């Protein structure tokens, strides 16, 4: 197996541990925190940088939005040698205690996506590798970041299923209590990629996990009852820098622990 | 809330940390490893002992077999003050590397049960609390037991879902059973048992902690062999040794958790 069709990577192009943001524009921001970095590929929504962070080999590949493009990135990254996947993305909060600017360490996901169900029945758990969770907890402690460990609602929809969020006021009766019911299950946040990342990592025997910056409150509406992410999301430089640092530190801690165990 | 209908427990009867075997007959065996213990309730399949293990308050309540009776035990234990649930049970292996006598540490479960779906949709993850998984890994290392961290398949059946006729009475069989275990093996699921999913789902939705450890008694893919004949009485490895190892593992998980909680 050599050059991969979508991500345009070959074996040797990536480190064993890969950070996975959704936005290709964020890859360079992440890599700017490293000791050294170079762009190794760019095609469609897939941009990859590889380098070292505090002496640890590291890569960052954007997945695009949603589970279908994320599954393609994971399939091709695994083929070129990646074995540890850490998603770094944004999310909406489902709980009062989880505030904008906080970080969610996602240890599991509710599978409300289509792609992961094509790999394994929905009864199969979307669960992070415990070593990734543990490294992320330590990273948050080191960095002094307010973090919560818990479940994410991974859905294929951004503008639904909430009254007031789809175009033209389109809604379905089944949506009315959708987020409220999800919140009642104690899920912390909602986002769009963690579920498939965890299912694929688990079935392949690789390590996966996810860290998500809380950018908004999922149920928040303006005075007109409309949900406007452009106005309400906080994705300014400071919180995105915090997310990127959380990801890099998680991989550093994981890699150093791996080395200690081997020694 | 005082005396609970099925478990016959009241607040104060149990420690915050509760071990959950299926078999009521195993509760006194688990408690025999503790510094001191007393039986606090016994009704139907629910037997509860409370005591201390290496200085840590601990309880053990049997759940009976399967998710319906286990959910009742969880509901009533939570009402009387239990906050951390550690299932200790037996399981079959789905992977060659996971051998008879080994310990499986469940960080998650595939939800092939009925009860947990009545609480939360099946896409909701049956996931163990991170603290419990880490404590179990530490316990496995300290005790020197071979252990594996992974996903279990929890199903509401013991005799159904086997790959060939011969497991259910009268050779009753369904073609959809043929690849059930083999497909789970391909998904990297390590074990099969009957209670973990509902324990993990309920603890998660209530904001409590749960996890599970199990001793491997058989290889699910091999046990019925070419004949398809499934005879657990003959085929399961059931020395006293496996169950003592399991009881030791569970008690140590609780001790490590309690000590880490006290330090935090």
Chain A residue with minimal CA distance to B206? A186
Q: What is the spatial distance between Cα A49 and Cα B107, in angstroms, rounded to a whole number?
A: 32
Note the pTM of the prediction, 2 decimals. 0.90
B positions 30-49 inside 8 Å of A (CB): none
**CB of A86 closer than 8 Å to CB of A209:** yes
Q: What is the spatial distance between Cα B70 and Cα A34, in angstroms, rounded to a whole number?
A: 50
Confidence band for B133, pLDDT divided at 50, 70 and 90 = very high
Pick the residue of B124, B131, B140 with the most A CBs within 10 A to test the interface with A by mutation.
B124
Angle between helices A194-204 and A67-79 (to 10 degrees): 30
> Is B109's Cβ below 8 Å from some Cβ in A?
yes
Task: Name the phi and psi angles at B108, rounded to 5.
Answer: -175, 165
B89: which strand partners? Answer: B214
B205 and A186 within 8 Å at the Cβ level: the answer is yes
Q: What is the DSSP letter of B250?
A: H
A130 and B112 within 8 Å at the Cβ level: the answer is no
B99: tokens are 């051998």
Supply the mean pLDDT for chain B. 95
Q: What is the spatial distance between Cα A152 and Cα A131, in angstroms, rounded to a whole number?
A: 18
Write down the pLDDT at residue B36.
98
Chain B residue with minimal CA distance to A155? B123
> In this complex, which of A120, A185, A205 lies closest to B124 when CB atoms are compared?
A185
**CB of A145 closer than 8 Å to CB of A103:** yes
**CB of A173 closer than 8 Å to CB of A130:** no
Q: What is the spatial distance between Cα A58 and Cα A49, in angstroms, rounded to a whole number?
A: 9
Q: Which residue has the higher pLDDT, B226 or A262?
A: A262
Per the listing, tokens 């498939």 go with: A196
Q: Which of B13, B113, B129, B218 is catalytic?
A: B218
Q: What is the spatial distance between Cα B150 and Cα A172, in angstroms, rounded to a whole number?
A: 38
Counting Cα atoms < 13 Å in the Cβ hemisphere of A216 gives 17
One DSSP character per residue, B31-66 reads HTTSSEEEEEEEETTEEEEEEEETTEEEEEE---SS
Q: What is the pLDDT of residues A125-161, one digit of tens each?
A: 999 999 999 999 999 999 999 999 999 999 998 876 6
> Is B176's Cβ below 8 Å from some Cβ in A?
no
A151 and B127 within 8 Å at the Cβ level: the answer is yes
Write down the pLDDT at residue B214.
98
Residue B232 has pLDDT above 90, yes or no: no
Task: Name the phi and psi angles at B122, rounded to 5.
Answer: -65, -20
Write down the pLDDT at residue A236.
84
Give ipTM to 2 decimals: 0.84
Determine if the peptide bond prior to A161 is cis (ω within 30°): yes
B50: tokens are 């409370």
Q: What is the spatial distance between Cα B18 and Cα B112, in angstroms, rounded to a whole number?
A: 24
Q: What is the pLDDT of residues A160-170, one digit of tens each?
A: 666 677 777 88
Q: What is the pLDDT of residues B173-207, one digit of tens each?
A: 999 999 999 999 999 999 999 999 999 999 999 99
A109 and B125 within 8 Å at the Cβ level: the answer is yes
B151 and A127 within 8 Å at the Cβ level: the answer is yes
B130 and A149 within 8 Å at the Cβ level: the answer is yes
Mean pLDDT of B54-68: 97
Angle between helices A237-262 and A130-143 (to 10 degrees): 120
> Is B151's Cβ below 8 Å from some Cβ in A?
yes
Chain A residue with minimal CA distance to B111? A123
Question: B22 burial class (0-12, 13-18, 19+ CB within 10 angstroms)?
Answer: buried
Q: What are the strands, taking DSSP E only, across chain A? A: 17-20, 36-43, 46-53, 56-61, 84-93, 103-112, 126-127, 147-155, 189-191, 207-217
How many A/B residue pairs have CB atoms within 8 Å? 74
Q: What is the spatial distance between Cα B97 and Cα B93, in angstroms, rounded to a whole number?
A: 9
Q: Reply yes or no on whether B218 is catalytic.
A: yes
Spell out the residues 6+ positions from residue B62 whose beta carbon is closer than 8 angstroms to its own. B20, B21, B22, B23, B24, B26, B27, B45, B46, B47, B48, B73
Write down the pLDDT at residue B1.
58
- The residue count of chain A comes to 263
Low-confidence ranges of chain A (pLDDT < 50): none
Chain B residue with minimal CA distance to A204? B188
Pick the residue of B94, B116, B127 with the most A CBs within 10 A to test the interface with A by mutation.
B127
Instruction: Please tell me the distance in Å from B151's CA to the nearest CA on chain A.
Output: 8
A198: tokens are 């965890």
- The residue count of chain B comes to 264
Residue B226 has pLDDT above 80, yes or no: no
Residue B83 has pLDDT above 70, yes or no: yes
Chain A residue with minimal CA distance to B151? A125
Confidence band for B227, pLDDT divided at 50, 70 and 90 = confident
């Amino acid at each position: 197996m050599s050059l991969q069709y979508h991500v345009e990577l070959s074996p040797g192009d990536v480190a064993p541990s890969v950070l996975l943001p959704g936005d290709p524009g964020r890859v360079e921001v992440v890599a700017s925190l490293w000791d050294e970095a170079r762009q190794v590929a760019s095609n469609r929504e897939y941009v990859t940088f590889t380098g070292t962070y505090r002496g640890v080999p590291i890569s960052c590949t954007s997945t695009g939005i949603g589970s279908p493009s994320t599954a393609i990135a994971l399939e091709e990254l695994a083929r070129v040698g990646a074995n540890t996947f850490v998603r770094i993305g944004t999310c909406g909060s489902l709980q009062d205690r989880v505030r904008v600017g906080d970080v969610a360490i996602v240890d599991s996901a509710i599978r409300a996506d289509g792609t992961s169900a094509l790999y394994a029945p929905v009864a199969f758990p979307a669960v992070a590798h415990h070593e990734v969770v543990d490294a992320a907890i330590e990273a948050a402690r080191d960095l002094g970041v307010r973090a919560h460990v818990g479940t994410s609602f991974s859905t294929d929809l951004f503008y639904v299923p909430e009254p007031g969020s789809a175009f033209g006021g389109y809604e379905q009766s089944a949506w009315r209590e959708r987020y409220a019911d999800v919140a009642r299950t104690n899920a912390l946040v909602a986002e769009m990629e963690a579920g498939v990342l965890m299912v694929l990592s688990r079935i392949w025997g690789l390590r996966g996990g996810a860290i998500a910056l809380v950018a908004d409150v999922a149920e928040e509406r303006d005075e007109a009852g409309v949900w406007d992410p452009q106005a309400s999301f906080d994705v300014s430089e400071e919180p995105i820098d915090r997310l990127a640092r959380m990801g890099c530190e998680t991989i550093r801690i994981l890699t150093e622990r791996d080395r200690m165990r081997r020694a | 809330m005082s005396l609970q209908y099925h478990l016959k427990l009241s607040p104060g009867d149990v420690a915050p940390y509760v071990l959950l075997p299926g078999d009521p007959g195993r509760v006194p065996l688990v408690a025999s490893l503790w510094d001191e213990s007393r039986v606090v309730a016994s009704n139907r399949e629910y037997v509860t002992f409370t005591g201390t293990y290496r200085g840590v308050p601990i309880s053990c309540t049997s759940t009976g077999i399967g998710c319906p009776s286990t959910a009742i035990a969880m509901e009533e234990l939570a009402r009387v003050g239990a906050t951390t649930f550690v299932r200790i049970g037996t399981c079959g292996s789905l992977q060659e590397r996971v051998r008879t006598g080994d310990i499986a540490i469940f960080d998650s479960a595939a939800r092939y049960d009925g009860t947990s779906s009545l609480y939360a949709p099946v896409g909701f993850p049956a996931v163990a609390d991170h603290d419990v998984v880490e404590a179990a890994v530490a316990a496995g290392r300290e005790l020197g037991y071979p252990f594996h961290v992974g996903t279990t398949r929890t199903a509401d059946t013991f005799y159904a879902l086997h790959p060939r006729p011969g497991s259910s009475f009268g050779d009753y069989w369904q073609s959809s059973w043929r690849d059930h275990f083999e497909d789970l093996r391909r998904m990297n699921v390590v074990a099969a048992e009957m209670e973990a999913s509902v324990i993990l789902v309920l603890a998660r939705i209530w904001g409590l902690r749960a996890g599970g450890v199990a001793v491997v008694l058989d290889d699910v893919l091999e046990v019925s062999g070419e004949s398809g004949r499934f005879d657990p009485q003959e085929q399961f490895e059931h020395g006293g040794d496996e169950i003592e190892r399991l009881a030791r593992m569970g008690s140590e998980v609780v001790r490590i958790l309690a000590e880490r909680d006290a330090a935090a």
